[in-house]
Amino acid sequence: MQQEVAGLRALQITPKYLWFLASSYSMIIVLGNWFDLRLIKLFGVVTNAGTFIFAFTFFLSNLITEVYGYKYARLSIWGGFLFNVIVILYGQLVIRLPSPEYHSYNEMFDLLLQANNRAIVAGLISYFSAEPLNTFVMAKLKVEFQGRYVGARYILATVIAASVDSALFGFIAFYNTMNTRLLISLIFGMMFVKIVVNLLGVPFFVHFSKRLKNLEKLDIYDKGTKFNLFKLDTFYTLSANRYVNGQLTRH
């Protein structure tokens, strides 16, 4: 469908799979925060349990950016934030509700939620720093390289965002809970896990992005996009979609 918006021919899309990608993204954000306090050690690398699942947020947000454009990825970022806030507020309500005397496990549950508050705050700050940066870099590199080097763009955006996310989250969530050497080791451990998981995901990202473009008949380029995180429009002109006649084109 087409329509005139401010004298420009607007692109109107009815995506089939965007809802699933955005929902999965929000779910992973919420789940990641639940497991952030649980530290684990694998092959000498110390990280937190939430890191493994959180690493997939970069996969999903980059996939949305690559196919549907930065503006739809931005909506997903806000969606993830909204669900996180709902979980936080509901958790605060739950621990303040009266508990029956015979159920001693409620006290342990309340302690867990209270201990997780700092990790959730750290997660929100690192989230709003790293995720917009990730999608911004991905969108800008796509325009810069005219759609080429999909895998390399995906890795570069992820490495930058994962480094920022791990540094902010680790420092805010665990500062003063361990000595400086262990804290730095933990931060690099989280960074390492996120980067390795996404390195392993490169072939899948290249395959799914190409297949999704063909299924949706979309290949959005954010040329001229205003990268304002607080602007929630999804307007694209017809020229932003470089998918033409069943073929992926580069301009």
Segment 141-176, tens digit of pLDDT: 999 999 999 999 999 999 999 999 889 988 887 888
Both tokens of residue 46?
């110390």
Tokens of 28: 């992973």
Per-residue model confidence as pLDDT tens digits over 207-248: 999 999 999 999 999 998 999 999 888 889 888 898 865 555
Q: Are strands 2-5 and 8-11 parallel, antiparallel or unpaired?
A: antiparallel
Maximum CA pair distance of the chain? 69
Beta bridge partners of 4: 9
pLDDT band with cut points at 50, 70 and 90 for residue 7:
very low
Comparing CA positions, the residue from 157, 6, 9, 156 lying closest to residue 70 is 157
pTM of the model: 0.84
Residue 83 pLDDT > 60:
yes
**How confident is residue 4, by pLDDT bands cut at 50, 70 and 90?**
very low
Residue 151: per-residue pLDDT: 94
| Amino acid at residue number 241 | N
**CA atoms of 161 and 57, how far apart (whole Å):** 11
What type of residue sits at position 189? G
Q: Is 247 helix (H, G, I), strand (E, B) or coil?
A: strand
Give the pLDDT band of residue 22 (cuts 50, 70, 90): very high
Give Cβ neighbours of residue 239 (< 8 Å, ≥ 6 apart): none
Contact indicator for 11, 236 with CB cutoff of 8 Å:
yes
User: Are 78 and 235 in contact, with CB atoms under 8 Å apart?
Assistant: no
Nearest CA to 55 out of 22, 30, 29, 73 is that of 29
Q: Are 236 and 72 in contact, with CB atoms under 8 Å apart?
A: no
Measuring CA to CA, how many Å separate 111 from each of 10, 34, 53, 94, 96?
A: 52, 13, 24, 12, 12
Q: How far apart are CA 230 and CA 78, in angstroms?
A: 9
Amino acid at residue number 216: E
- Percent share of the chain, pLDDT over 90: 39
3-state SS assignment for residue 63: helix
User: Of 5-9, 90-94, 190-194, 234-238, where does mean pLDDT reach its minimum?
Assistant: 5-9
Pairwise CA distance, residues 198 & 218, whole Å: 24
Q: Residue 109 — pLDDT band, cuts 50, 70, 90?
A: confident
- Is 5 a residue whose pLDDT tops 50? no
What confidence category does residue 6 fall into, taking pLDDT thresholds of 50, 70 and 90? Answer: very low
pLDDT cut 70: percent of the chain above it: 90
